[in-house]
Amino acid sequence: MPTGRTPIPWRNKAVVATLAATLLAGPGIAQATPQTASASQEQVSAAATITWTLERASNPTQDQLTAYDLITKAMNAAVARYNNVSDLGKAITVRYDPGVPTADGNINGTIRFGNRGYMTERTALHEIAHTIGVGTSSGWSRLGGSGTWTGAQATALVRQFDGSSAKVSTGGGHFWPYGLNYDNEFSNTAADRHVQIVAAMVRDGL
């Protein structure tokens, strides 16, 4: 599989897996002590290069606490996967915003979760891709604006996965296959391939 990056030594992979398992062990792992400001922040870092911060109210309601728990589980899982499968880097700020119908991600590094049904690893992976540039960068417009991704690396990768005639289709700021646009697309294999394709898109110039 073409990756264009230095392979992670097996010992480092073992460390990543151990740390990822620790992160996924339960809600609220590595939560910071709330600050006295009106909105405090908790810093959660995975083992490699993507980090995320959850903005928390200083005196959260039960609704907010429930959302924070779900978001923490989803983001911990998604960030651990990105850091285990790729060498991408991003500092992400996450907010709970009940006014958001689903969830959204922006290239400025922000993700907002609104609907409880979207506080999942699948959604978190999808929105992290938006923060990296999927559907949000000039490179996306240049390489994906025709309805088919034209970058060589991601194209070669999807053909390795799905055969010599496979392509990465684009539209509405999303890609498929492996874009994780809907819940029924999620599996561990699809999630890993999603991250690999996003990383290949970055190498293509995303």
Query: 142-151: per-residue pLDDT in tens?
Result: 999 999 999 9
Q: How many residues does the chain have?
A: 206
In single-letter form, the type of residue at position 174 comes to H
CA–CA distance, 200 with 107 (Å, rounded to integer): 17
Position 14 scores a pLDDT of 43
Q: What is the pLDDT of residues 93-124, one digit of tens each?
A: 999 999 999 999 999 999 999 999 999 999 99
pLDDT band at 58 (very low <50, low <70, confident <90, very high): very high
Q: How far is CA 98 from CA 63, 71, 107, 113, 173, in A?
A: 10, 13, 21, 7, 23
Whether 75 shows a pLDDT value over 90: the answer reads yes
Whether 4 shows a pLDDT value over 70: the answer reads no
Mean pLDDT to the nearest integer, 25-43:
36
pLDDT band at 40 (very low <50, low <70, confident <90, very high): very low
* Residue 75: Cβ within 10 Å count: 28
Task: Considering only residues 9 and 37, tell me which one the structure prediction assigns the higher pLDDT.
Answer: 9
Position 18 scores a pLDDT of 41
pTM score: 0.77
CA–CA distance, 191 with 91 (Å, rounded to integer): 20
CA–CA distance, 178 with 166 (Å, rounded to integer): 12
Position 198 scores a pLDDT of 98
How many helices (H) and strands (E) the chain has is answered by: 6, 7
Whether 17 shows a pLDDT value over 50: the answer reads no
Task: Considering only residues 30 and 66, tell me which one the structure prediction assigns the higher pLDDT.
Answer: 66
CA–CA distance, 52 with 61 (Å, rounded to integer): 22
